[in-house]
Structure 1
Amino acid sequence: MKTPPGLQALIDDGVIDAVLRPLKSGKEAAVYVVRSGDEVRCAKVYKDMAQRSFQQRTQYQEGRKVRGSREARAIGKSSKYGRKQQEVAWKNTEVEALYQLREAGMRVPEPFGYFHGVLVMELVTDAEGFSAPRLGEVELTPQQARDYHAVLIRQVVLMLCCGLIHGDLSPYNVLVAADGPIVIDFPQVVSAAGNNAARSMLLRDVNNLTAYFGRWAPELLDTWYGEEMWKLFEAGELLPGTVLTGKFTPDARTVDLDSVREAINEARQEALIRQQGREAAAEDD
């Protein structure tokens, strides 16, 4: 195929040898299948700020560290230079998170480098060697739903132990590889300790998973993994190997249990609505 402008520099520098085909295009970036020597990989080309429509970005950036005081001041003033630095930081966040999470043993694509604003990483494939489908595109058996849910809850725990929360975890940010689910898309990753909305984002991520897998395994809808892991995290007791039960008992003296349950159900309903919207958008594409 004709080389997209965003990938020409990588070909010129010998980072990749050819662009084979487009893989997917979303609000934040376009991903292409590329060849690098004898390896087939993928390249994520981030779209310009003017082309993108990710909402509420400020909420996700709260608590993130900025490399220098000059950059921090410029971002705070929203100057032209500041907006440019903010854009750079937004892209770098995903790259840094991928390396950190891969090192922690999380199931994420292996990164191979960041060149000219393009992230080159492993192409996740299914059992037949084709590009892995997104979880939201796959029909599951009840046992598969339970198994995948367990794997992904473990990934959320590993992230939280690294001080991070995905922030937009859904069936459309998970690929089904030959050996199980792989989590993708981290530009909006949230600081668990530095973001005031961290707890609500964690619960939303977990509820998105619970609502989806609950279609095939309804018993999962009565689990409280997000609340359980957050309580352990706050107490400094959450470890990568912590065994969760899915059970959680709020303090009845300070918490209205009916309100808590209603909030959880609303979050799960919102997750279903968000998923239906994404399915409709994908059909339009």
Structure 2
Amino acid sequence: MKTPKALEALIDDGVIDEVLRPLKSGKEAAVYVVRSGDDVRCAKVYKDMAQRSFQQRVQYQEGRKVRGSREARAIGKATNYGRKQQEAAWKNTEVDALYLLRDAGVRVPEPYGYYHGVLVMELVTDADGYSAPRLGELELTAEQAREFHAVLVRQVVRMLCCGLIHGDLSEYNVLVGPDGPIVIDFPQVVSAAGNNAARRMLIRDVNNLTASLGRWAPELLDTWYAEEMWALFEAGELQPDTALTGRFVHEQGDVDLDGLRHAINDAREEALIRQQGREAAAEAD
């Protein structure tokens, strides 16, 4: 295929040898399958800030470190320089998170480098070498759903032990390889200690996974892993391998249990509607 302009510099520098095909394109970035020597990898090209809205990301940026006081002031005033610094920080956040999480044993794609604003990383594949499917594209047994849920909850725990929360975790940014689920897409990662919405985002992440996998194993809908791990995190007692029960005793008035259960069920229904939409689109093709 014709080399996208954003990847030309990587070919010129010998980072990659060839662009094989597009993999996916979303609001934040376009991902391409590329060849580097004998290895097939993927390259994530972040879209220009003009194509995205910073207003939608204010809640994620709270608590993130900025390189210097000048940059912090510029970002706060929304100057042109500040917007450029904010754009660079947004891209660097995912790169930094991938290296940190990979070193901590979290199941994420292996990063190979960040060049000219492009992240080159492992291409997650299935057992036959094709691009791995998303979790939401699979039909699962109850046993598989329980297994995947346990694996993903453990990844959330390990991320939290690194001081990070995914912030947008769902069945659509989890790939399933031969060895199980792998978490992707981290530009919106949240500081667990520095963001006032951290607990809410953690609960939303886990509830999204629970709602999706609860379609196949309904007993998962009666678990409270996010609340349990957050309580341990706040108490300084959460470790990467801490055993969780999924049970949690809420303080009186602490949470609207019925409302939260309805929210999970709504998410479950939304996931089913999206799946039906994809199936209908596939049949139309």
TM over 0.5: yes
Inter-CA distance 80–104: structure 2 relative to 1 (3 Å threshold): same
Which residue in the other structure is 2:266 paired with? 269
| CA distance in structure 1 between the partners assigned to 2:238 and 2:127 by the alignment | 34
- CA-CA distance at 1:182 after TM superposition: 0.3
- CA-CA distance at 1:250 after TM superposition: 1.0
Runs of 4+ with >6 A deviation: none
| CA distance in structure 2 between the partners assigned to 1:230 and 1:186 by the alignment | 20
| CA distance in structure 2 between the partners assigned to 1:267 and 1:54 by the alignment | 28
Query: Could you list the per-position Cα deviations for residues 93-140 of structure 1 after superposition, in whole angstroms to 9, with x for gaps in the alignment?
Result: 000000000000000000000000000000001011111011111111
| CA distance in structure 1 between the partners assigned to 2:272 and 2:58 by the alignment | 23
Q: Decide which moves more: 51-60 or 143-152.
A: 51-60
The DSSP-based 3-state class of the residue aligned with 1:56 is helix
Which residue in the other structure is 1:80 paired with? 80
Count of equivalent residues: 282
1:128-277 to structure 2, matched below 5 A, reads 128-252=128-252, 254-255=253-254, 259-270=256-267, 272-273=269-270, 276=273
Kept in 2, the 8 Å contact 1:41–1:122? The answer is yes
What value does the CA root-mean-square deviation take over the aligned residues? 2.0
Amino acid at match of 1:205: D
| CA distance in structure 1 between the partners assigned to 2:145 and 2:173 by the alignment | 16
1:28-39 to structure 2, matched below 5 A, reads 28-39=28-39
**Structure 1 gaps, min length 5:** none
- CA-CA distance at 1:262 after TM superposition: 1.7
Query: Could you list the per-position Cα deviations for residues 134-191 of structure 1 after superposition, in whole angstroms to 9, with x for gaps in the alignment?
Result: 1111111110000000000000000000000000000000000111000000000000
**Structure 2 gaps, min length 5:** none
Which residue in the other structure is 2:5 paired with? 5
Which residue in the other structure is 1:19 paired with? 19
Kept in 1, the 8 Å contact 2:215–2:268? The answer is no
- CA-CA distance at 1:266 after TM superposition: 1.5
TM-score (norm 2): 0.94
Aligned sequence identity (%): 75
TM-score (norm 1): 0.94
Kept in 2, the 8 Å contact 1:27–1:54? The answer is no
